[in-house]
């Protein structure tokens, strides 16, 4: 008897570990071991835990149709998880455990401990489009800047043709697997459909109707111009290779257009691979280290009142406050807004990027260590980026440019619904002139904060 251990790969389609179990011609069970204490230690958002639970049940139902038993075991943390896996394998005479690799440090340590304990654990790569370690520069090293990585990544992809796996199950009578419930704090995620619906309906609709306008619409939070795939990629419910294959089916020349505006969406898939490749090559990123060592000497002031105001959407900058409300209320934030609020926290408030990274993980349905760390270090100027520290977003001009009619701000800040558009993006003068108490004061002055940030980084 073999065992497929599902982890951050919650799908049947393009699952190398599952595919190997099917082709091995031996009977197998499937297993998921929940770890609520570990999730809490890693700041996993309750809405993401709920999404995981729903997809674990989806897999269980899908496998049951093929007569495959799906078992759920509850553990506390990774140590307990490893012990319970070993015990299960001994009790059920498991010959081999098939699983897909996880790039994060604690997960890698757990797997190494299991291998050293004598468990027959066979691991596969399933989380990227182009294999980690295969995109290197002329010195045989990982690229430290995205654009040259992207070019080499696209070139590699043109020659390797990443083809997703489609499982072919043996004929077996269907069974009934029990409903699975996690003993953890959860937040309802049902506004996000299950991955099978996304693959059958949402992704084809996006590729047919929105993909070609993505480069024009992607920066406007009031427009539903993005694909909405990030939560499913974050938990492995949809394979990045499958997404690329669907894109290539609709647009056979997509790779050739990656450096053009029309290639903006594929560019985002390349960014996702880039951050996971970085985590693979630079394990220190798992431990909240700056990518660029020269910023290790930064002594962040971390004023608690500014951090609290940012977390509570009380900064006095409407685009920042609306974005933070979107995050807390929905578990998601538009990508342009993630850049604006991250820049504001690190550059205007001089708060350590790690505190922002943590808050995002605690709320995001698509929380992913590689992408979250990469995005925050990009915003803080401490990461692998061709732009140095002096990129400081002006939240007022960003608001005017990307929410020109104010519809996003008014949606999440109904306090400002009667403020004329002319004043909406920074309404304090209008509020003072009209003696109305509808909004809170700005916690920093933009020009002053910008100069303070420049002085802070230069020092």
Of the listed 271, 310, 332, 378, which one is catalytic? Answer: 271
* Known catalytic residue at 268: yes
Alpha helices in 186-263 (DSSP H): 195-197, 203-209, 214-217, 230-234, 240-250
Interacting residues of 348 by C-beta distance below 8 A, sequence separation 6+: 392, 395, 444, 446, 449, 450, 453
* Known catalytic residue at 271: yes
* Known catalytic residue at 353: yes
CB 330 within 8 A of CB 412: no
Of the listed 153, 265, 310, 353, which one is catalytic? Answer: 353
Residue that the structure tokens 């990009």 belong to: 378
Q: Strand order of the sheet with strand 2-6?
A: 70-74, 28-34, 2-6, 97-100, 121-124
CB atoms within 10 A of CB 10: 23
Of the listed 106, 246, 292, 300, which one is catalytic? Answer: 300
Distance between CA 311 and CA 345 in Å, rounded? 10
Of the listed 268, 394, 400, 440, which one is catalytic? Answer: 268
CB atoms within 10 A of CB 369: 23
Interacting residues of 458 by C-beta distance below 8 A, sequence separation 6+: none
CB 369 within 8 A of CB 104: yes
What is the bridge-based pairing of β-strands 121-124 and 28-34? unpaired
Closest CA to 322 of 416, 393, 230, 231: 416
Interacting residues of 222 by C-beta distance below 8 A, sequence separation 6+: 403, 405, 407, 408, 411
Distance between CA 313 and CA 414 in Å, rounded? 13
- What would the two tokens of residue 385 be? 């980026």
369-380 and 335-343 helices, crossing angle to 10°: 50
Distance between CA 450 and CA 303 in Å, rounded? 16
* Known catalytic residue at 376: yes
Of the listed 5, 265, 376, 378, which one is catalytic? Answer: 376
Question: SS3 of 5, please?
Answer: strand
H/E element, 72: strand 70-74
Distance between CA 217 and CA 225 in Å, rounded? 5
Distance between CA 134 and CA 116 in Å, rounded? 27
- The catalytic site residues sit at 268, 271, 300, 335, 353, 376
């Amino acid at each position: 008897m073999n065992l497929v251990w599902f982890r951050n790969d919650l799908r049947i389609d393009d699952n190398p570990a599952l595919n190997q179990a099917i082709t091995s011609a031996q009977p197998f069970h499937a297993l998921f071991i929940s770890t609520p204490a570990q999730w809490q230690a890693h700041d996993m958002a309750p809405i993401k835990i709920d999404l995981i639970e729903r997809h674990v049940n989806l897999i269980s139902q899908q496998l049951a149709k093929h007569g495959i038993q799906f078992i759920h075991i509850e553990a506390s943390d990774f140590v307990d998880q490893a012990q319970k896996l070993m015990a299960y394998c001994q009790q059920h005479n498991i010959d081999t455990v098939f699983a897909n690799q996880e790039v994060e440090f604690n997960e890698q340590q757990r797997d190494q401990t299991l291998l050293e304990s004598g468990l027959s654990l066979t691991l596969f790569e399933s989380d990227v489009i182009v294999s980690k370690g295969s995109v290197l520069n002329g010195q045989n090293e990982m690229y430290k800047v995205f654009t040259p990585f992207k070019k080499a990544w696209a070139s590699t992809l043109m020659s390797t043709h990443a083809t997703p796996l489609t499982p072919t199950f043996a004929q077996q009578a269907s069974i009934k697997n029990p409903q699975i419930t996690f003993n953890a704090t959860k937040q309802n995620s049902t506004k996000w459909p299950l991955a099978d619906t996304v693959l059958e309906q949402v992704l084809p609709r996006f590729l047919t109707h929105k993909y070609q306008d993505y480069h024009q619409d992607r920066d406007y939070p009031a427009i539903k111009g993005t694909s909405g795939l990030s939560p499913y990629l974050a938990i492995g419910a949809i394979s990045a290779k499958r997404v690329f294959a669907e894109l290539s089916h609709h647009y056979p020349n997509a790779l050739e257009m990656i450096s053009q505006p029309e290639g903006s969406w594929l560019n985002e898939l390349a960014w996702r691979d880039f951050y996971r490749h970085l985590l693979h090559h630079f394990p220190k990123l798992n431990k909240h280290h700056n990518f660029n060592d020269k910023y290790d000497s930064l002594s962040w002031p971390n004023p608690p009142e500014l951090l609290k105001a940012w977390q509570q959407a009380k900064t006095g900058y409407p685009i920042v406050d609306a974005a933070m409300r979107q995050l807390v209320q929905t578990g998601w934030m538009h990508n342009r807004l993630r850049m604006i609020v991250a820049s504001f926290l690190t550059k205007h408030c001089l708060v350590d990027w790690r505190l922002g990274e943590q808050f995002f993980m605690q709320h995001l349905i698509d929380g992913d260590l590689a992408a979250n760390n990469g995005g925050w270090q990009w915003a803080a100027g401490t990461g692998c980026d061709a732009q140095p520290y002096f990129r400081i977003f002006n939240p007022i001009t960003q608001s005017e440019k990307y929410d020109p009619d104010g519809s996003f701000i008014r949606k999440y800040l109904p306090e400002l619904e009667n403020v004329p558009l002319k004043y909406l993006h920074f309404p304090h003068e209008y509020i003072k002139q009209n003696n109305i108490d509808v909004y809170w004061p700005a916690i920093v002055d933009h020009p002053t904060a910008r100069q303070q940030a420049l002085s802070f980084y230069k020092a």
